[in-house]
Protein backbone atom coordinates (compact mmCIF):
# COMPACT_ATOMS: atom_id res chain seq x y z
CA UNK A 1 0.00 0.00 0.00
CA UNK A 2 1.17 3.50 -0.80
CA UNK A 3 1.00 6.74 1.19
CA UNK A 4 1.86 10.13 -0.26
CA UNK A 5 2.94 12.68 2.31
CA UNK A 6 3.35 16.45 2.16
CA UNK A 7 5.89 18.54 4.11
CA UNK A 8 5.25 21.55 6.29
CA UNK A 9 7.02 24.78 7.17
CA UNK A 10 10.79 24.45 7.22
CA UNK A 11 11.10 22.54 3.92
CA UNK A 12 11.59 25.73 1.87
CA UNK A 13 14.85 26.61 0.10
CA UNK A 14 15.96 29.39 -2.30
CA UNK A 15 15.25 28.49 -5.92
CA UNK A 16 12.47 26.06 -5.04
CA UNK A 17 10.13 25.31 -7.93
CA UNK A 18 12.20 27.04 -10.61
CA UNK A 19 12.90 23.73 -12.37
CA UNK A 20 9.18 22.99 -12.52
CA UNK A 21 8.41 26.48 -13.82
CA UNK A 22 10.99 26.20 -16.60
CA UNK A 23 10.01 22.68 -17.68
CA UNK A 24 6.21 22.60 -17.55
CA UNK A 25 3.51 24.89 -18.94
CA UNK A 26 0.97 23.73 -16.33
CA UNK A 27 3.38 24.79 -13.58
CA UNK A 28 3.77 28.25 -15.11
CA UNK A 29 -0.02 28.52 -15.15
CA UNK A 30 -0.20 27.62 -11.45
CA UNK A 31 2.46 30.19 -10.53
CA UNK A 32 0.55 32.86 -12.47
CA UNK A 33 -2.70 31.89 -10.77
CA UNK A 34 -0.95 32.01 -7.38
CA UNK A 35 0.28 35.55 -8.05
CA UNK A 36 -3.32 36.61 -8.76
CA UNK A 37 -4.64 34.95 -5.60
CA UNK A 38 -1.88 36.25 -3.30
CA UNK A 39 -1.47 39.70 -4.82
CA UNK A 40 2.32 39.42 -5.15
CA UNK A 41 4.78 37.59 -7.40
CA UNK A 42 5.59 34.57 -5.24
CA UNK A 43 7.59 32.96 -8.06
CA UNK A 44 10.11 35.80 -7.98
CA UNK A 45 10.63 35.36 -4.23
CA UNK A 46 10.87 31.56 -4.53
CA UNK A 47 13.36 31.66 -7.41
CA UNK A 48 15.41 34.75 -6.55
CA UNK A 49 14.79 35.49 -2.88
CA UNK A 50 17.15 34.79 0.00
CA UNK A 51 16.60 32.35 2.83
CA UNK A 52 15.41 35.29 4.93
CA UNK A 53 12.90 36.30 2.25
CA UNK A 54 11.50 32.77 2.22
CA UNK A 55 11.24 32.67 6.02
CA UNK A 56 8.46 35.28 6.03
CA UNK A 57 5.42 33.29 7.12
CA UNK A 58 3.22 34.93 4.47
CA UNK A 59 5.67 33.59 1.86
CA UNK A 60 6.82 30.30 3.40
CA UNK A 61 3.49 28.56 3.72
CA UNK A 62 2.08 29.47 0.26
CA UNK A 63 5.47 28.61 -1.32
CA UNK A 64 5.60 25.10 0.14
CA UNK A 65 1.92 24.53 -0.65
CA UNK A 66 2.41 25.70 -4.25
CA UNK A 67 5.51 23.57 -4.80
CA UNK A 68 3.83 20.47 -3.34
CA UNK A 69 0.56 20.80 -5.26
CA UNK A 70 2.36 21.42 -8.56
CA UNK A 71 4.46 18.30 -7.98
CA UNK A 72 1.36 16.23 -7.23
CA UNK A 73 -0.38 17.53 -10.35
CA UNK A 74 2.71 16.84 -12.42
CA UNK A 75 2.80 13.20 -11.33
CA UNK A 76 -0.28 12.55 -13.46
CA UNK A 77 -1.50 8.94 -13.21
CA UNK A 78 1.37 8.02 -10.91
CA UNK A 79 -0.36 10.03 -8.18
CA UNK A 80 -2.32 7.04 -6.94
CA UNK A 81 -2.06 6.81 -3.14
CA UNK A 82 -4.13 4.66 -0.82
CA UNK A 83 -3.71 7.39 1.80
CA UNK A 84 -2.44 10.96 1.95
CA UNK A 85 -1.18 12.92 4.94
CA UNK A 86 0.60 16.22 5.53
CA UNK A 87 2.66 17.66 8.36
CA UNK A 88 0.88 20.78 9.67
CA UNK A 89 0.67 23.09 6.61
CA UNK A 90 1.17 19.98 4.45
CA UNK A 91 -2.31 18.79 5.37
CA UNK A 92 -3.73 21.51 3.10
CA UNK A 93 -1.44 20.43 0.24
CA UNK A 94 -2.51 16.81 0.75
CA UNK A 95 -6.19 17.71 0.70
CA UNK A 96 -5.89 19.70 -2.55
CA UNK A 97 -3.80 16.97 -4.19
CA UNK A 98 -6.43 14.38 -3.24
CA UNK A 99 -9.27 16.45 -4.70
CA UNK A 100 -10.87 17.51 -1.44
CA UNK A 101 -10.28 21.24 -2.02
CA UNK A 102 -9.75 23.40 -5.10
CA UNK A 103 -6.32 24.89 -5.82
CA UNK A 104 -7.25 28.58 -5.60
CA UNK A 105 -9.41 28.09 -2.52
CA UNK A 106 -6.68 26.02 -0.87
CA UNK A 107 -4.10 28.72 -1.56
CA UNK A 108 -6.40 31.41 -0.13
CA UNK A 109 -6.83 29.37 3.05
CA UNK A 110 -3.09 28.78 3.37
CA UNK A 111 -2.42 32.49 2.93
CA UNK A 112 -5.08 33.40 5.50
CA UNK A 113 -3.67 30.77 7.87
CA UNK A 114 -0.13 32.13 7.49
CA UNK A 115 -1.16 35.72 8.14
CA UNK A 116 -3.33 34.74 11.11
CA UNK A 117 -0.47 32.75 12.64
CA UNK A 118 1.94 35.65 12.14
CA UNK A 119 -0.44 38.06 13.87
CA UNK A 120 -0.89 35.63 16.78
CA UNK A 121 2.91 35.28 17.07
CA UNK A 122 3.28 39.03 17.45
CA UNK A 123 0.77 39.18 20.30
CA UNK A 124 2.81 37.21 22.87
CA UNK A 125 6.56 36.52 23.14
CA UNK A 126 6.57 32.83 22.36
CA UNK A 127 8.68 30.13 20.74
CA UNK A 128 9.24 26.39 20.29
CA UNK A 129 11.95 23.93 21.31
CA UNK A 130 13.02 20.51 20.03
CA UNK A 131 13.39 17.82 22.71
CA UNK A 132 15.48 14.80 21.70
CA UNK A 133 16.02 11.48 23.42
CA UNK A 134 13.06 11.35 25.82
CA UNK A 135 9.81 9.43 25.98
CA UNK A 136 6.78 11.49 24.93
CA UNK A 137 5.02 10.90 28.26
CA UNK A 138 8.02 12.22 30.20
CA UNK A 139 8.12 15.41 28.11
CA UNK A 140 4.37 15.87 28.55
CA UNK A 141 4.72 15.50 32.33
CA UNK A 142 7.39 18.21 32.54
CA UNK A 143 5.28 20.54 30.40
CA UNK A 144 2.25 19.94 32.61
CA UNK A 145 4.27 20.80 35.72
CA UNK A 146 5.83 23.99 34.32
CA UNK A 147 4.39 27.39 35.18
CA UNK A 148 2.98 29.26 32.18
CA UNK A 149 1.89 27.98 28.78
CA UNK A 150 4.04 25.17 27.37
CA UNK A 151 2.66 22.11 25.57
CA UNK A 152 3.72 19.26 23.31
CA UNK A 153 3.24 20.58 19.77
CA UNK A 154 4.86 18.31 17.16
CA UNK A 155 5.24 14.57 17.73
CA UNK A 156 7.74 14.16 14.89
CA UNK A 157 9.04 10.65 15.53
CA UNK A 158 9.87 8.51 18.56
CA UNK A 159 12.39 10.41 20.65
CA UNK A 160 11.80 13.71 18.87
CA UNK A 161 9.09 16.01 20.20
CA UNK A 162 8.75 19.78 19.76
CA UNK A 163 7.25 21.82 22.59
CA UNK A 164 5.57 25.19 22.15
CA UNK A 165 4.61 28.09 24.42
CA UNK A 166 5.56 31.30 26.17
CA UNK A 167 9.28 32.11 26.14
CA UNK A 168 9.85 31.89 29.94
CA UNK A 169 7.89 28.61 30.13
CA UNK A 170 9.85 27.11 27.23
CA UNK A 171 13.17 28.11 28.82
CA UNK A 172 12.14 26.64 32.16
CA UNK A 173 10.89 23.40 30.59
CA UNK A 174 14.10 23.01 28.59
CA UNK A 175 16.21 23.27 31.75
CA UNK A 176 14.04 20.72 33.54
CA UNK A 177 14.11 18.36 30.56
CA UNK A 178 17.91 18.49 30.35
CA UNK A 179 18.08 17.66 34.06
CA UNK A 180 15.64 14.79 33.48
CA UNK A 181 17.88 13.25 30.83
CA UNK A 182 16.97 14.77 27.48
CA UNK A 183 19.81 14.36 24.98
CA UNK A 184 19.05 17.84 23.67
CA UNK A 185 16.58 20.61 24.48
CA UNK A 186 17.10 23.20 21.79
CA UNK A 187 15.10 26.42 21.43
CA UNK A 188 14.23 26.83 17.75
CA UNK A 189 14.59 29.99 15.64
CA UNK A 190 10.85 30.48 15.18
CA UNK A 191 8.79 33.56 15.92
CA UNK A 192 5.89 31.98 17.74
CA UNK A 193 4.23 29.08 19.52
CA UNK A 194 2.59 27.11 16.73
CA UNK A 195 0.14 24.34 17.69
CA UNK A 196 -0.38 25.73 21.19
CA UNK A 197 -3.18 27.62 22.99
CA UNK A 198 -1.41 30.86 21.98
CA UNK A 199 -2.66 30.25 18.43
CA UNK A 200 -6.30 30.64 19.53
CA UNK A 201 -6.76 34.03 17.76
CA UNK A 202 -5.41 32.45 14.56
CA UNK A 203 -7.70 29.44 14.99
CA UNK A 204 -10.73 31.73 15.25
CA UNK A 205 -9.70 33.65 12.12
CA UNK A 206 -9.01 30.48 10.13
CA UNK A 207 -12.30 28.97 11.31
CA UNK A 208 -14.23 31.78 9.61
CA UNK A 209 -12.41 31.19 6.33
CA UNK A 210 -12.74 27.41 6.50
CA UNK A 211 -16.45 27.53 7.34
CA UNK A 212 -16.99 29.38 4.05
CA UNK A 213 -14.79 27.05 1.98
CA UNK A 214 -16.11 24.36 -0.36
CA UNK A 215 -14.70 21.03 0.81
CA UNK A 216 -15.35 17.72 -0.95
CA UNK A 217 -14.68 14.09 -0.10
CA UNK A 218 -11.08 13.38 -1.17
CA UNK A 219 -10.30 10.54 -3.59
CA UNK A 220 -8.63 8.62 -0.77
CA UNK A 221 -8.60 9.00 3.01
CA UNK A 222 -6.48 11.78 4.52
CA UNK A 223 -4.84 10.89 7.83
CA UNK A 224 -5.21 14.07 9.82
CA UNK A 225 -2.78 15.64 12.31
CA UNK A 226 -5.29 16.16 15.10
CA UNK A 227 -6.52 12.56 15.31
CA UNK A 228 -3.89 10.49 13.41
CA UNK A 229 -6.84 8.67 11.87
CA UNK A 230 -8.16 8.56 8.28
CA UNK A 231 -11.02 10.83 7.27
CA UNK A 232 -13.13 11.29 4.13
CA UNK A 233 -16.09 13.25 5.52
CA UNK A 234 -15.68 16.91 4.42
CA UNK A 235 -17.23 18.28 7.62
CA UNK A 236 -14.97 16.22 9.87
CA UNK A 237 -11.96 17.26 7.78
CA UNK A 238 -12.98 20.92 8.08
CA UNK A 239 -13.27 20.81 11.87
CA UNK A 240 -9.94 18.98 12.21
CA UNK A 241 -8.21 21.60 10.05
CA UNK A 242 -9.59 24.31 12.32
CA UNK A 243 -8.55 22.46 15.49
CA UNK A 244 -5.08 21.82 14.07
CA UNK A 245 -3.79 25.34 14.85
CA UNK A 246 -4.05 24.89 18.62
CA UNK A 247 -3.69 21.08 18.76
CA UNK A 248 -0.51 19.02 18.43
CA UNK A 249 0.68 17.54 15.14
CA UNK A 250 0.51 13.80 15.82
CA UNK A 251 2.98 12.79 13.11
CA UNK A 252 4.53 9.92 15.06
CA UNK A 253 1.06 8.48 15.55
CA UNK A 254 0.19 9.12 11.89
CA UNK A 255 3.23 7.18 10.69
CA UNK A 256 2.52 4.35 13.12
CA UNK A 257 -1.09 4.14 11.94
CA UNK A 258 -0.08 4.04 8.26
CA UNK A 259 2.47 1.30 8.88
CA UNK A 260 -0.05 -0.69 10.93
CA UNK A 261 -2.42 -0.58 7.93
CA UNK A 262 0.20 -2.19 5.71
CA UNK A 263 1.69 0.86 4.00
CA UNK A 264 5.06 -0.23 2.61
CA UNK A 265 5.73 2.58 0.11
CA UNK A 266 5.95 6.27 1.10
CA UNK A 267 6.37 9.07 -1.44
CA UNK A 268 7.15 12.61 -0.25
CA UNK A 269 5.50 15.22 -2.47
CA UNK A 270 7.09 18.67 -2.19
CA UNK A 271 10.42 20.22 -1.28
CA UNK A 272 12.95 18.31 0.81
CA UNK A 273 13.16 14.85 2.36
CA UNK A 274 12.34 15.56 6.00
CA UNK A 275 9.31 13.28 6.16
CA UNK A 276 11.17 10.39 4.53
CA UNK A 277 13.78 10.70 7.27
CA UNK A 278 11.10 10.60 9.99
CA UNK A 279 9.54 7.45 8.49
CA UNK A 280 12.98 5.81 8.43
CA UNK A 281 13.27 6.48 12.17
CA UNK A 282 10.15 4.33 12.64
CA UNK A 283 10.97 1.61 10.04
CA UNK A 284 14.48 1.64 8.61
CA UNK A 285 13.58 -0.85 5.89
CA UNK A 286 10.57 1.09 4.58
CA UNK A 287 10.64 2.06 0.89
CA UNK A 288 10.62 5.87 0.63
CA UNK A 289 11.12 8.20 -2.32
CA UNK A 290 10.66 11.78 -3.50
CA UNK A 291 7.89 12.47 -6.03
CA UNK A 292 8.91 12.58 -9.67
CA UNK A 293 7.06 14.81 -12.13
CA UNK A 294 6.22 12.91 -15.29
Which amino acids are annotated catalytic?
A: 88, 195
Q: Which long-range contacts (CB under 8 A, 24 or more apart) does 196-199 make?
A: 196/126, 196/149, 196/150, 196/151, 196/153, 196/164, 196/165, 196/246, 197/149, 197/151, 197/246, 198/120, 198/123, 198/124, 198/126, 198/149, 198/164, 198/165, 198/166, 199/117, 199/120, 199/245, 199/246
**Dist. CA 82–CA 206, nearest whole Å:** 28
Q: Are strands 222-223 and 83-86 parallel, antiparallel or unpaired?
A: parallel
Ramachandran assignment for 82, one of left (phi > 0), alpha (psi -120 to 50 degrees), beta (any other): alpha
Strand 150-157 with 184-187, pairing: unpaired
Q: H/E element holding 165? A: strand 160-166
Asked if 106 and 96 count as a contact pair (C-beta separation under 8 A), the reply is yes
How far apart CA 67 and CA 12 sit, in angstroms, is: 9
> Residues 101, 93: contact at Cβ < 8 Å?
no
Backbone torsions φ then ψ of 40, nearest 5 degrees: -150, 160
Is residue 202 within 8 A of residue 117, CB to CB? The reply is: yes
How far apart CA 167 and CA 85 sit, in angstroms, is 30
Identify the three-state secondary structure at position 57.
helix
Amino acid sequence: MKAMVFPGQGAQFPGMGQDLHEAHAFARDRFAEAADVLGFDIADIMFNGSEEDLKQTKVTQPAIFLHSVIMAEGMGDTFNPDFVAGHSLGEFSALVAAGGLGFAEGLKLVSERAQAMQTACEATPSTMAAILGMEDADVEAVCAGTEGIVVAANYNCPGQLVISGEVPAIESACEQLKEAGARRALVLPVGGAFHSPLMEPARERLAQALEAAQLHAPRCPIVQNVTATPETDPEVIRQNLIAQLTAPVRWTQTMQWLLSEGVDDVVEVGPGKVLQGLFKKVDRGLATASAVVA
